[in-house]
A = this chain, B = another copy of it.
Amino acid sequence: MAGDTFGHTLQLTTFGESHGRALGAVLSGMPSGIAVDEDFIQSEMDRRRPGRDRFSTQRQEADRLEILSGVFDGMTTGAPIGMMILNSDQRSRDYDELKDVFRPGHADYTYWRRYTNVDHRGGGRSSGRETSMRVAGGAFAKLLLRREGIRVDAGVRAIGGVSDDGAPFAPPFDNPIHAVDPAMAGLFEAEIDRARQEKDSVGGIIECRVTGVPCSLGEPIFDKLDAQLAAAIMSIGACKGVEIGAGFRSAAMRGSSCNDRMYIEDGRPVFRTNNCGGILGGISTGEEIVLRAAFKPTPSISLPQDTVTRSMQERVIEIHGRHDPCIVVRALVVVEAMTALVIADNLLRARSYGD
């Protein structure tokens, strides 16, 4: 209830700070008997790991996930899965001089107002490093979904002012920046490089799709599948907007073009379009689920910025620590993880309400 737990039937509870001893999680509610592919799980961790390329912070962390419980004979047991990564390359002293200063665009000020005794080092609990445990949980969720033939993929639609033209979504996106449209990859990289050279940062837009989802997942009224997805994605730090299907574009459409018409193919109902993004009345239609999320530019930049301190003094700071010029590329796997957790949770949850 303090916001550290996500999900209803499949629940992920996380803990840990950027420069504390460890980050960890408990995944509760996984059915027993699911094969635990540790290589896959670690490969998901690696997709988010810092220090891998020039788009990410140069902090070096192995992010090697230790599974502490809930797995026996290579399979889940139904017991809660405890897991953990240790922090190693902390360089907490980098943050000593920032202790009393509120970094613009970060949670430093709000956390300090709320908690007073705050672990400020590297953002502490509010650091993006917290998302490592979402990825760990999401990897398990993907194992569950994979068994049901469901897959989750995300790609980059826009970086800074540059966006693609609605290219077809055909994962995997094997270009370095995981652009949906490989033709855009170079432009996206250039946009990031330019920002970095100018000691600045850029944001971007991620699209995520889920295929193989059966019709009828999601709860009506308040726990609509799209509402759950919106919360899941918006809970990722730096996310400032979420849309489903035609999203904001649908506001400008007519009902006659926005409604997805149905017809029969091989005796089964099919939708001619998917403006609803695979969800009607909060419940999955069986079509692809489509969402897009806007991420703001990384708030840490080396340009001088005006701000204030805990003692209410004005101050100019330049943040010379290690940070990503663009968080979007590393956020892809986090978006997938949160989406996978929502779908897996609803898959299990729906079983209770069948007749």
Contacts and interface: CB of A to CB of B under 8 A. Distances in A.
Contact of A15 (B69, B102, B116, B234): B69
B80 A14 contact: yes
A262 interface: yes
Contacts of A303: 255-256
A113 to B, nearest CB: 5
A264 interface: yes
A281 B130 CA distance: 12
Contacts of A75: 117
A150 interface: no
A234 B241 contact: no
B105 A260 contact: yes
B241 A243 contact: yes
Interface residues of A, number: 156
Contacts of A272: 306
A268 B6 CA distance: 35
A355 B34 contact: yes
Residue with the greatest number of chain B CB neighbours at <10 A, chosen from A231, A261, A283, A307? A231
Contacts of A353: 2, 9, 29, 31, 78, 114, 348
B11 A253 contact: no
A242 B234 contact: yes
A97 B239 CA distance: 45
A65 to B, nearest CB: 13
A26 interface: yes
A205 B117 contact: no
A258 to B, nearest CB: 5
Given A11-B2, A223-B235, A243-B241, A118 B26 contact: no
Nearest to A110: B283
A28 to B, nearest CB: 4
Interface string A285-324: 1100000001111111101011110001110000000000
B113 A215 contact: yes
A220 interface: yes
A254 B200 contact: yes
A234 B31 CA distance: 25
A257 to B, nearest CB: 8
A30 B216 CA distance: 16
Nearest to A310: B269
B33 A301 contact: no
B26 A13 contact: yes
B219 A264 contact: no
Given A3-B222, A106-B281, A248-B248, A301 B79 contact: no
A207 to B, nearest CB: 12
Contacts of A250: 203, 240-241, 294-297
A117 to B, nearest CB: 5
A275 B240 CA distance: 10
Interface string A187-230: 00000000100101111110000000001101111111011111
Q: Which 10 A-B pairs have the closest CB atoms?
A: A107-B281, A3-B219, A241-B243, A3-B223, A15-B82, A201-B255, A105-B259, A231-B231, A110-B283, A227-B235
Given A31-B355, A241-B242, A258-B299, 6 more contacts: A1-B1, A107-B220, A115-B355, A125-B221, A202-B254, A262-B306
